[in-house]
Amino acid sequence: MKQSSLARAALYLFLAASLAAPLAGCGKTVLPSANGQGANGQIANGQGAARGPVAAMPSLFTPLETHAAVTLADAEALRLVRQLSPRQQGLSSWRDMDAAVARSLSFARNKPANGAALSFPGLTATWGDIARSAELLQRLLPSLDAKPELLASSFRWVRLGPDFSFTGYYEPTLAASRKPTGKLSHPLYKRPPDLRNGVPYFTRNQIDRGGALRGKGLEIAYVDETDAFFLHVQGSGRLRFQDGSVIHVLYAAKNNRSYVSLGRVMKERGLLPEDGVNMKAIREYLAKNPGQRAELFDENPSYVFFRAETYGPIGSMGAVITPWVSLAVDRRSVPQGSVAMILTPLPGPDGRHTRPFPALTLPQDSGGAIKGHRMDLFCGAGDEAEHVAGHLDVKGAVYILLPK
């Protein structure tokens, strides 16, 4: 999924051209008067990765600031549907979502059908409703390329307020070695057998500097130390070995120590400017000041342990997640297994100016830092994914799709 700068520029041009017309006048929308360290599951998304500020797109949608569920008129739902395109989510066809929707449907069907899945002022939905939504979407997928308006006519569209904060996470690809060699000498550890849930374990300093786990046979592979630190932030990644083989390393556990944001520490010390705290800036500073690296890393006592798999990444639903489709959510705000459209700006090539991103999405993951009205968009792997995940920090509109 790695893309050249030229490929990314072409993608941005496509998005700008394809969405310019549908988005014209969005700021004039009138709502009907009927009125995000560490994951709990497999991916430790939202662990406090530093992000740069993103310029707002005030014309993208009318803000909704009240805690409420607002049912949209059919004409408004149709206007939103016309902004959707599978290509802007990396799909060749809406049919490409079939496997992901099937995973959501399986999850929802395993819940008590009459149990409450979603409760907002003006809206209550059961797990049976959530399952029927996923089942209906799966039936419609083969027809949506030719008849996208079916999304508007088949579902009840409900906007959830107040608007959500959006961040992003991705699956990094790390150069790795099976033995310590050169820069690839920092171990990634399996879960220690003496680690107990909820009981504070060795700190980052004790493990990385003090060798608390050295020689215990827990090493999965060896990577660059800075890459390892950011892998702990993301919670999941791919390891590419010198022979070309690739494995996935997935979140297994953490040491039950509080997470401290490296970006915040560096900003407070004046090492980075207020408006320049993002992953790229942090990496550049560490590369120029390697003598400060260990001390800065140790400011964050939290530590993540991994497990090796041949597939991934896996969300907290226990299933593989899909780039530009899967969301990490607070399950008290939005149920996993549901169907949602999001409308939010994404960072452009310079990391600051934005491009609109209307998307048909599936909440399929969660995270320890994903709280309340926050969503974390899974951006996949590669340069584009890293860029968006490293800069995304904006408000967006969220619409839940329920069967009529």
Mean pLDDT of 179-192: 98
Q: Are residues 141 and 65 in the same domain?
A: yes
Assign 274 a pLDDT band (cuts: 50, 70, 90): confident
- The pLDDT value given to residue 211: 98
More confident residue, 7 or 261: 261
Query: Domains in the chain: how many in total?
Result: 2
- The pLDDT value given to residue 22: 33
- The pLDDT value given to residue 255: 97
Q: Are residues 224 and 281 in the same domain?
A: yes
State how far the Cα of 57 lies from the Cα of 43, in Å rounded to an integer. Answer: 30
**Is residue 317 included in any domain, yes or no?**
no
- The CATH number linked to 366 is 2.40.40.10
Q: Are residues 23 and 139 in the same domain?
A: yes
Q: Are residues 242 and 373 in the same domain?
A: no
How do residues 95-108 score in pLDDT, each as one tens digit? 999 999 999 999 99
**Is residue 383 included in any domain, yes or no?**
no
pLDDT above 70 covers a percentage of the chain that reads: 85
Assign 352 a pLDDT band (cuts: 50, 70, 90): low
- The pLDDT value given to residue 279: 82
The residue range of the domain holding 203 is: 171-309
Mean pLDDT of 387-404: 94
Q: Are residues 49 and 138 in the same domain?
A: yes
Q: Are residues 237 and 162 in the same domain?
A: no
**Is residue 127 included in any domain, yes or no?**
yes
Q: Are residues 338 and 300 in the same domain?
A: no
**Is residue 79 included in any domain, yes or no?**
yes
What is the average pLDDT score of the chain? 86
**Is residue 382 included in any domain, yes or no?**
no
**Is residue 355 included in any domain, yes or no?**
yes
**Is residue 140 included in any domain, yes or no?**
yes
Whether residue 245 has pLDDT greater than 90? yes
How do residues 53-81 score in pLDDT, each as one tens digit? 444 445 678 989 889 999 999 999 999 99
Q: Are residues 273 and 363 in the same domain?
A: no
Q: Are residues 223 and 367 in the same domain?
A: no
Whether residue 140 has pLDDT greater than 70? yes
Q: Are residues 156 and 201 in the same domain?
A: no
- The pLDDT value given to residue 367: 81
Q: Are residues 181 and 237 in the same domain?
A: yes
Q: Are residues 105 and 143 in the same domain?
A: yes
More confident residue, 159 or 274: 159
- The pLDDT value given to residue 59: 62
More confident residue, 40 or 135: 135
- The pLDDT value given to residue 173: 94
**Is residue 316 included in any domain, yes or no?**
no
